[in-house]
Structure 1
Amino acid sequence: MTADVPHRTTASRATGRPGDAAPFALGLLLRQAHWRAAAAMTEALRPLGIELRHFAVLMVLVERGATVQRDLAPATGSDKAGIMRVVDDLERMGLAVRKAVPGDRRVRAVEITPRGLELFDAAHVAAKPMADRLVAALGPGEAEQLMDLLTRFTYPPGDEA
């Protein structure tokens, strides 16, 4: 059995080269940008003893306050097992605690600790030079324009998630 794959002998093929206009070019470019940004942020967080996955959970906890553990997975793009390991790590480091949720003894909410807030603030200070390096090749106003475009691309109007 063969798949129905349309054949076009003149089709553009995604190469990943700058300026590539193939259908997958945007996805490939965003993937490369993600890897570059993630590597920079990983470097910034390493001296603090946490990884990007830990910081992602801390960000949610700072934004939302105490959050039911199962809700952290979709909020961070992780899976349930992965979130459990991250929360275990954060608890071990004294950066977050699990607390019982009144009315449901099976559910635990995760809350950032004062030490976690201190580390969260320190991470922002550590990340500033890395963030500046990431956009150093951009001209005046282009970093803000990039943020605006990526925000609108990621969160299109009418896409309430």
Structure 2
Amino acid sequence: MSEAPLPAIRSLPSWLLGRAAARGRALVAEALAAEDMRMWHHVVLSAVRDLAPVAQADLGRAVRLDPKDLVGVLDDLQGARLVVRAPDPKDRRKNAVSLTPRGARLLERCEKAARAANDELLAELSPAEREQLTGMLRRISGTAAG
């Protein structure tokens, strides 16, 4: 058989995007694992850095993570002394989450590792093609630049 099976499926942009996303997730997960970090932990650390101090509920909405799952991730991050939870200065009935200096240092290493993994994913593309692809992905995913 000279042709790959399922040519109709394999020609769909949705199938190709799914394959590219799976490869990208695998590359980033492997890079983060070298820092003893998992994907959701990295996402939450990054969001905490950008939003801190952030109410736990607002954090969950920002990263679109179920509250029960977020609690588990935050428990792990707090146990590793990467974040702190304290009464929210805006509403003392709520917890606000902030990054610790240790968390900021780890996040910096994780971001470097994730960028390297993405460079590997996009190695076949020129810088202009990378920028174009990223712009097109933002458009079709409904994700604003920035």
TM-score with structure 2 setting the length? 0.84
Q: Which residue of the partner structure matches residue 7 of structure 1?
A: none
Partner of 2:61: 74
Residue identity over aligned pairs, in percent, reads 35
Q: Displacement, 1:77?
A: 2.4
Cα offset, 1:142, TM superposition: 0.6
**Residue of 50, 53, 76 corresponding to 1:89:** 76
Query: In the alignment, residue 66 of structure 2 is paired with which amino acid?
Result: D
Unmatched runs of 5 consecutive residues or more in structure 1: 1-12
Is 1:63 aligned to residue 76 of structure 2? no
Match of 1:132 among 102, 119, 125: 119
**1:106/1:27 Cα in 2 relative to 1: closer, same or farther (>3 Å)?**
farther
Runs (4 or more) in structure 1 with deviation over 4 Å come to none
Alignment of 1:41-60 (within 5 A): 41-60=28-47
SS at match of 2:123: coil
Matched AA of 1:58: L
Q: Match of 2:44, as an amino acid?
A: V
Q: SS of the counterpart of 1:106?
A: coil
Larger RCO, structures 1/2 (Cα 8 Å, 6+ apart): 2
Deviation string for 1:21-53 (max 9, x for gaps)? xxxx33333322221111111111102111010
Give the helix-richer structure, 1 or 2: 2
- Pick from 133, 136, 146: which aligns with 1:149? 136
Q: Secondary structure at the match of 1:109?
A: strand
SS of residue paired to 1:75: helix
2:108 maps to a residue whose letter is D
The alignment's C-alpha RMSD in Å is 2.1
TM-score for both structures, normalised by structure 1: 0.77
Matching residue of 1:10: none
Count of paired positions: 139
Q: Does the Cα contact within 8 Å between 2:53 and 2:88 map onto a contact in 1?
A: no
Partner-residue secondary structure (3-state), 2:65: coil
SS at match of 1:97: strand
Deviation at 1:140, TM superposition (A): 4.3
Match of 2:3 in 1: none
Per the alignment, do residues 103 and 65 of structure 1 end up closer, same or farther by CA in structure 2, a change over 3 Å counting?
closer
* Greater mean alpha carbon deviation, residues 66-75 or residues 26-35: 26-35
Instruction: Say if 2:47 and 2:62, in contact at 8 Å, map to a contact too.
Output: yes
